[in-house]
Amino acid sequence: MFSLTLKSGDTDAGTWPITQTPLVIGREGGCDVMLSDPAVSRRHCQISMDGGVIHLQDLGSRNLVLVNSRHVAHCRLELGDEVRVGHSVFFVTRRGSSAGMVPSELQHCSTVTLAGDESMFLAPVPVENGRVSRGTFEDLHNLLAVSIGMSSITTREGVFAALGDSVGARFGDVDAWILLLSGKKESVFRLRGDREGAAPPANLMRMVLDERMGSLAPGEPDSGGWVMAAPILHGEHRVGALALVAGDGDGDREYGRDDLDFLVALAHISSPFFQAVDRLEELRAENLRLRGVGEGLKGLIGASPPMARLKKTIALVAPSDQTVLVFGETGTGKELVAGLLHGLSQRKDGPLVTVNCAAIPKDLFESELFGYEKGAFTGATAPKAGLMEESVGGTLFLDEIGDLSLDNQARILRAVEMKRFRRIGGNQEIQADFRLVAATNKDLVTEIARGTFREDLYHRLNAIQLAVPPLRNRRSDIPELARHFLSMCPAKGKKAPVFSPEAMEYLVHRHWPGNVRELRNVVSAGAALCLGTTIGADDLRAVCFNPGVGETGLTLAEIEKTHILRVYDVSNGNVVEAARRLGLGKSTLYNRLAEYGIKT
């Protein structure tokens, strides 16, 4: 009748008759087929004959039985079926087959599985009579060649090409595929072959990844061919799987253990190269990002320690979607920081919508931020999207949020927290996907203690905090800032204006309560009102209000007026002389003096 015949494994006997008495396979001493494999349970499974039908029953094993490469708990067996228990492989054969041999009529439907550490190329090579067989030597040469070739490859496509060439050199005209994992996503790529209608054995590739061992099995029933697959593993990390398919048109060659040995070794060798090229791609992307960050941060002038720390933090924070609260005195450049956070983020192609909370009247804030529907109030003749809605896909910048009234703080809290809101007069909730950046020149902790700022809103905004240093704490940046602002001023002649050493010393030692904004105004006014191309300390003092401790900055128009009147007085009311000193036309000076209420 029928027997169970061993093809490969760790037991001495080779064949066992299948009868009505269950044939028990396991590690326990009383089992009919005793295996020492630790992957096998004490009583793993049993095979018996009942009414001419062969049955396999799992006995509650830790690792189920594989029948023709599929896990089963109970099934009917047929002649030629392969049964794998742990690392041992058996076949159902006719009674009388030689022990340890698989009849030739069953060789074509034989399946071989192989763990990575079982490949002869990844373990000490068995040497007979001090010699390595020619086939083994050629395989080793092929594996060495592909390893050396891939060591200089820097792209994933290059690894694909090297693997395809190696498979072609070893197996000839076969179709080969590779499956790669990226998180939960899997992608399949063709390495070689152009057979029409050939499909990748995706299920087999997934199976060898799950089992962490290679497999050689018959192809589709009508194909007469073979399919092989091997997992690509990097430690516990699953990289992907390598597979090839050979149809009956590829000749009469029968594939066996030595072929699977090679494919498992090839997959194992390729693993670190995939890790390396993926890391190179990450480094290239990071390098490009940092170059972009570096270019973007050029707008933030200064190399002092406080500015270096600020730039580093911006570079780290910008790519995330975290809410950022920017602190800084008036004129320090909080809006510039917000612009950089947006420009260096993944939302840089979306809008940057700025809301000046101090400039919008209290009663209009809600309609400006959330928008309104037609008929929501008198004058609402058409629906209007609010600033929050306009910021979808980009960044919403709430400037001077410390000046927001408590009522309006309560209104934006839920919208900021849930990223949902309704237009005034509307019933539909709008989902708003934006990144939030807020800024203030106030100490919000103090404002919370005073009862003028909501603590819950503060904690919602304060996910990441950035402090922009005042100019007095970064005096070493003043020369670079001053020269930058001066380069933006229109030249009076062919020669660009410069600062005298005394002028630069004056700028560096000044208090600057208005910070960078005040410095920019002073430089612009000094360049516009100096008589020559060299800006002296006196020129700067002339355009500065109340130079000394406690000074405040003036607007450019106020500085210009102060300087014009001072030069007019020095010229003893002589309009022609004053115009010459100021570099203005007489008519222009007459008009300015008239604006100031000076009769000439």
Measure the CA–CA gap between 528 and 539, rounded to whole angstroms. 10
Measure the CA–CA gap between 172 and 392, rounded to whole angstroms. 56
Measure the CA–CA gap between 19 and 65, rounded to whole angstroms. 20
What's the domain range around 578? 475-596
Q: Do residue 217 and residue 350 come from a single domain?
A: no
Domain boundary among 284, 305, 329: 284
Q: Do residue 465 and residue 488 come from a single domain?
A: no
Q: Do residue 343 and residue 463 come from a single domain?
A: yes
Q: What angle do CA 130, 132, 137 make, to 5 degrees?
A: 155
Instruction: Tell which residue, 91, 88, 90, has the closest CA to residue 78.
Output: 91
Residue 336 lies inside a defined structural domain of this protein: yes
Domain boundary among 262, 284, 306: 284
Pairing of strands 88-94, 33-34: unpaired
The helix or strand, by DSSP H or E, that contains position 329, with its residue range, turns out to be none
> Which domain CATH number covers 431?
3.40.50.300
Tokens standing for residue 204: 């087999």
Query: How many domains, in total, are found in the chain?
Result: 4
Q: Scan for tokens 């229109």, then name that residue.
A: 490
Instruction: Please report the pLDDT score of residue 286 as a whole number.
Output: 62
Residue 236 lies inside a defined structural domain of this protein: yes
8 Å CB contact between 213 and 227: no
- Please write down the HEC assignment for all residues of 407-475: HHHHHHHHHHHHCEECCECCCCCEECCCEEEEEECCCHHHHHHHCCCCHHHHHHHCCEEEECCCHHHCH
Instruction: Please report the pLDDT score of residue 511 as a whole number.
Output: 86
8 Å CB contact between 75 and 89: no
Residue 463 lies inside a defined structural domain of this protein: yes
Residue 305 lies inside a defined structural domain of this protein: yes
Instruction: Please report the pLDDT score of residue 524 as a whole number.
Output: 86
Instruction: Please report the pLDDT score of residue 494 as a whole number.
Output: 57
The helix or strand, by DSSP H or E, that contains position 196, with its residue range, turns out to be none
Instruction: Please report the pLDDT score of residue 450 as a whole number.
Output: 93
Instruction: Tell which residue, 574, 491, 482, has the closest CA to residue 528.
Output: 491
Instruction: Please report the pLDDT score of residue 200 as a whole number.
Output: 85
Bridge partners, 356 (sequence order): 399
Tokens standing for residue 235: 């430690």
Instruction: Please report the pLDDT score of residue 445 as a whole number.
Output: 93
334 CB neighbour count, 10 Å cutoff = 23
Q: Do residue 229 and residue 270 come from a single domain?
A: yes
Q: What are the backbone dihedrals phi and psi of residue 584, each rounded to the nearest 5 degrees, phi first? A: -110, 160
End-to-end Cα distance, the chain = 131
Pairing of strands 88-94, 82-85: antiparallel
8 Å CB contact between 45 and 27: no
* Predicted model pTM: 0.50
pLDDT tens sequence for the chain (600 residues): 789 998 887 777 688 999 999 999 999 989 999 998 888 899 999 999 988 889 999 998 887 888 887 778 899 998 888 898 988 889 998 876 554 444 444 444 445 555 655 555 555 544 444 444 556 767 787 787 888 878 777 788 888 888 888 888 888 888 899 999 887 888 888 888 877 777 888 888 888 888 888 888 766 544 556 788 999 988 888 888 999 887 655 544 567 778 888 888 898 888 888 878 777 777 766 665 555 555 556 678 888 999 989 988 998 898 889 999 999 998 899 999 999 999 888 898 899 999 999 888 888 898 999 999 888 888 888 888 989 999 999 999 999 999 999 999 998 998 888 888 989 888 888 888 999 999 999 999 999 999 999 999 999 999 999 999 999 999 999 999 999 999 888 766 657 788 999 999 999 998 888 899 889 988 988 887 777 788 888 888 877 754 443 344 556 777 778 778 877 876 778 888 888 777 778 888 888 888 888 877
Q: Do residue 215 and residue 251 come from a single domain?
A: yes
Q: Do residue 304 and residue 262 come from a single domain?
A: no
Measure the CA–CA gap between 9 and 87, rounded to whole angstroms. 6
Measure the CA–CA gap between 372 and 379, rounded to whole angstroms. 11
Burial class of residue 93 (count of CB atoms within 10 Å of its CB; 0-12, 13-18, 19+): buried
The helix or strand, by DSSP H or E, that contains position 133, with its residue range, turns out to be none
Q: Do residue 142 and residue 237 come from a single domain?
A: yes
Instruction: Please report the pLDDT score of residue 103 as a whole number.
Output: 47
Q: What angle do CA 346, 348, 354 make, to 5 degrees?
A: 120
Residue 130 lies inside a defined structural domain of this protein: no
Residue 450 lies inside a defined structural domain of this protein: yes
Domain boundary among 417, 449, 469: 469
Bridge partners, 527 (sequence order): none
> Which domain CATH number covers 182?
3.30.450.40
Residue 353 lies inside a defined structural domain of this protein: yes
Instruction: Tell which residue, 37, 155, 152, has the closest CA to residue 86.
Output: 37
Instruction: Please report the pLDDT score of residue 120 as a whole number.
Output: 56
Q: Do residue 461 and residue 515 come from a single domain?
A: no
Tokens standing for residue 226: 């073979």
Instruction: Tell which residue, 79, 75, 108, 101, has the closest CA to residue 2.
Output: 79
Burial class of residue 492 (count of CB atoms within 10 Å of its CB; 0-12, 13-18, 19+): middle
8 Å CB contact between 380 and 372: yes
Q: Do residue 142 and residue 271 come from a single domain?
A: yes
Instruction: Please report the pLDDT score of residue 476 as a whole number.
Output: 93
Q: Do residue 144 and residue 86 come from a single domain?
A: no
Measure the CA–CA gap between 399 and 534, rounded to whole angstroms. 38
Instruction: Tell which residue, 50, 9, 14, 15, has the closest CA to residue 27.
Output: 9
| The total number of residues written for the chain in this structure | 600
